[in-house]
Homo-oligomer: A and B are copies of this chain.
Amino acid sequence: MAASTETSVGFVDAAVHHRVQQFYAEQMQLLDRGEAEPWARTFTEDGVFGTSVDPEPARGRAAIAAGAAEATARLAADGVVHRHWLGMLHLRPAADGGLHARSYALVIRTPKGGEPVVWRSCVCEDLLVPTDGGGWLVRERHVHRDDLS
């Protein structure tokens, strides 16, 4: 009963897919715990992180860590918690064993004593590169906010 017409969907290997899922889960948790340095180490040394609102992307781990530390301090001052959810992960092979990853991202924002809201809805486009140990790092990330699209 195999259907006669193939879908356009391409697939990456199960082992790659599950590792990338685990990579993102840990990466988002590091960010939301305010672990700026370990978060920055999920990017390559020369990693690039751009968003819809920054005129220039952050370049390199030091800049990426500084951005995360600043965001963490602002959240603490405001008495809110952010949770980054990443989903609908679509992977395509890139050059040299890398992966293009296009996913959706939500930021859920909860004030202490208050109600959570969907703070941001975004599309996240990553270029992932493999590490020697079978893991992944982000070489380039561009986050596109839906409200600014």
Contact between B147 and A11 (Cβ–Cβ < 8 Å)? no
Counting chain A residues whose Cβ lies within 8 A of the other chain, the interface size class is 35 or more
Q: Which A residues form the contact surface with B (CB < 8 A)? A: 1-12, 14-15, 17-19, 21-30, 38, 41-42, 44-45, 81, 83-91, 95-98, 102-104, 106, 108, 110-121, 123, 129-137, 139, 146-149
Known: A87-B87, A117-B115. A81 touches B149 (CB 8 A): yes
* Sample (22) of A-B pairs whose CB atoms are under 8 Å apart: A2-B129, A2-B130, A3-B131, A4-B45, A5-B41, A6-B133, A7-B41, A7-B135, A8-B41, A9-B22, A9-B23, A11-B135, A17-B18, A17-B22, A18-B18, A25-B90, A83-B104, A104-B108, A106-B116, A108-B118, A108-B121, A111-B147
From DSSP, what is the main secondary structure of chain A's interface residues? mixed
Closest to A85 in B: B87
Known: A6-B133, A21-B17. A110 touches B11 (CB 8 A): no
Residues of B within 8 Å of A139, CB to CB, are: 3
Contact between B14 and A14 (Cβ–Cβ < 8 Å)? yes
A90–B149 CA distance with the chains assembled, in angstroms? 31
Residues of B within 8 Å of A8, CB to CB, are: 26, 30, 38, 41-42
A81, A103, A129, A139 — which one has the most chain B CB atoms within 10 A of its CB? A81
